[in-house]
Amino acid sequence: MNILAKPTTLLNVDKAGPVFTTVTGNGWRQFAPGSNQYVFETYYDLAGMSMKEKTLFFDAALVQDLANPSHVGGAAGDGLQIVDIMTTTPLTDAMLSGFVVYGNTPQSAFPSFDQTVYARNQGFVVDLDFAASGYFNLLFSNQMGSLSPTATDRVYVYKYVVLGSAAAATSFTIFPSRFLLQAKAKEEPEFQYLMRLMRSYNLQNEPDVD
């Protein structure tokens, strides 16, 4: 059994009026200049296992966080949303944006439940009693995912951040985190493995549905 880990880096964003600017964010990408949406993306490389014709079975998945997001100049009601995703198919920006509304339900163009190894949706808000602390308070944290085994070459990792466009805060900090997968590689009967391989290939090459 192996523990697979992928870290994310610190993201610091300044806000002037409605315009957001990345100050520090090695590995982070802003959706568009001035946008309030950011994503950190990487992947687990599983090509070695697929070359050995092994299937990866997941036992557990989680994300370790250093701290709640922080702010400068925030006021009660300021909010932000963070979505952590591990999936066997790559995601577009539109898929990430849609996830915060529809998740991976049939209403969305997001990959299916089986393809979503793990996902966590968190909302944070500045609380009136603790605004002076400089930290956002956790408002909700919901998880979904299948932990379905895969024969694909990659598991894609995304940390997607949506900052409050009307927030009073002039600076936001998203602290480093670590994605973890507990998994083991096993050999399956040849026919079963080939069927799983074909399904993984078909899922990765399905046309986008808008």
CA 149, 38, 134 angle in degrees (round to 5)? 110
Q: Is 165 helix (H, G, I), strand (E, B) or coil?
A: coil
Pairwise CA distance, residues 13 & 162, whole Å:
11
Indicate if the pLDDT at residue 175 is higher than 80: yes
pLDDT digits (tens, 9 = 90+) for 106-139: 776 677 778 899 999 999 999 999 899 999 999 9
pTM comes to 0.85
Q: Work out the average pLDDT over 46-61.
A: 75
Candidate from 43-57, 76-90, 150-164 with smallest mean pLDDT: 43-57
pLDDT the model gives residue 50: 54
Check if the beta carbon of residue 9 is closer than 8 Å to that of residue 28: yes
Q: Work out the average pLDDT over 50-58.
A: 71
Pairwise CA distance, residues 56 & 49, whole Å:
8
Res. 192 pLDDT band, cuts 50 70 90? low
Q: Is 129 helix (H, G, I), strand (E, B) or coil?
A: coil
Check if the beta carbon of residue 97 is closer than 8 Å to that of residue 35: no
pLDDT the model gives residue 207: 47
Highest mean pLDDT out of 52-56, 149-153, 191-195: 149-153
Res. 102 pLDDT band, cuts 50 70 90? confident
Higher-confidence residue: 204 or 10? Answer: 10
Indicate if the pLDDT at residue 103 is higher than 90: no
Domain ranges of the chain: 2-204
- Burial of residue 80, with CB atoms counted within 10 A of its CB: 0-12 exposed, 13-18 middle, 19 or more buried: buried
Res. 196 pLDDT band, cuts 50 70 90? very low
Q: In what order do the strands lie in the sheet with 116-125?
A: 28-30, 37-45, 154-163, 79-87, 116-125, 137-144
* Phi, psi dihedral angles at 92 (to 5 degrees): -95, 170
pLDDT the model gives residue 208: 46
